[in-house]
Amino acid sequence: MSDFDTQVRDSQAQVAEAQAKISELTSRVETMGAKAKSGEDISIDIENATLEDVHAHTELMNANIAELIMGLDDVTSGFSKDFDEMRNKTGWESFVGFFSQGRSDTLRQERIRTANIDDKLQDLIAKSDTIVKLLENQLGVLNEHKEKVEVNLTGTLDEREAVVGELESLRAEIVGMDPKIIELENKISVEQDAAARTKLESELAALNAQYNEMVQQEQVKLAKSQTLERYIEKGKTWVDSLQNQAATQMVLINKLQTDTKQRVVLYDALTKSLKTAQQQDVAHRINEIGVQTDKEAQTAMAAIGSATNQRMADMMEAHEDHMVFARKVLEQKAKADERFARRFQAIVEKHDKNLYGA
């Protein structure tokens, strides 16, 4: 198994573990929401340590994937070197050239023809796609959980708004009872008739009982409002966390997808460059051959005579579009690299300075 495959398996395991932790924390938030709505205590249902554990594991997972991406960048940077080696003659081909230039050129052409360049590019793109799928799966999970918690939060916000409204209404009623109680107390203090006094005292007792009941209801509603408020704050914290995690996944996905475009453009440019160099070599050799009409010259002349002009015309017409597209991709890559480097500064520094194991 290659190092890349091993790293991908490690990343897959880390993603699975991260998703399990995210699901567990979302479940706690949902349970806490149900308890909050019923007025139960929620103080021990979600702790900062749990959230920090999720963050720590997510950072480890993203660091692992970031190193995978840096590894793909290293492979991409080696493309130009591979093409240069293909364009230039090997030591053996140069040695053969001392005795037969034609034989030397034929050996180089055969090597170029059989070179497995496309397979290498496709392998690199396949590796990028593997990581993208991993990230897109994680992004889907993050968005799914964010939506769940947001739905709960919306319902809880509505409920707290209703509870606060009831609480304010209740407080207004309690405040409105104070003058009535004071008025009865004043009447009782000056009432001389025993029967009338007894009646007033009964009214005051009933009013006080109602007042005490309303005060008790106020305390219950206040406690429920505070519980709902705590849940809302915890829920918002979790939603913010999920949004930040999703933003990181999107940065990684954007970098990989932009890199893939850039690799295709690079491969296309280098391939055309290689083919152009080969065509120039063939044309130069035909010019030197002059009037010789051997099979190779006839084949090359026919190929050049019938196709080269049209081919060159097509290439010239397509050149502007190709350059505009290539420049656009390079601009996109620069932006993607800048976002990636900003978010994964430590990983980039470790990679650039070869500080692994330090």
Report yes or no on 12 lying in a domain.
yes
Domain count, the chain: 1
Q: Which residues of 198-232 are buried (b: 16+ CB within 10 A; e: fewer)?
A: eebeeebeebeeebeeeeeebeebeebbebbbbbb
Report yes or no on 37 lying in a domain.
yes
Domain that holds residue 246: 3-352
**What confidence tens digit (pLDDT) does each residue in 179-225 have?**
888 888 888 888 788 888 888 888 889 988 999 999 999 888 888 88
Report yes or no on 338 lying in a domain.
yes
d(CA 59, CA 81): 34
In order, the DSSP letters of 308-320 are IHHHHHHHHHHHH
Local mean pLDDT, 10-residue blocks, the chain (358 residues) = 77 86 84 73 60 82 83 74 69 78 75 67 81 88 90 87 90 89 86 85 89 90 85 86 88 84 74 61 51 46 46 46 59 77 71 59
Q: Residue 75: CA atoms inside 13 Å, Cβ hemisphere, count? A: 19
pTM of the model: 0.67
Report yes or no on 34 lying in a domain.
yes
Report yes or no on 358 lying in a domain.
no
Report yes or no on 282 lying in a domain.
yes
Report yes or no on 357 lying in a domain.
no
236-242 contacts at long range (C-beta below 8 A, 24 or more positions apart): 236/153, 237/51, 238/25, 238/26, 238/29, 238/46, 238/51, 238/149, 239/146, 239/149, 239/150, 239/153, 241/51, 241/54, 241/55, 242/22, 242/142, 242/143, 242/145, 242/146, 242/149
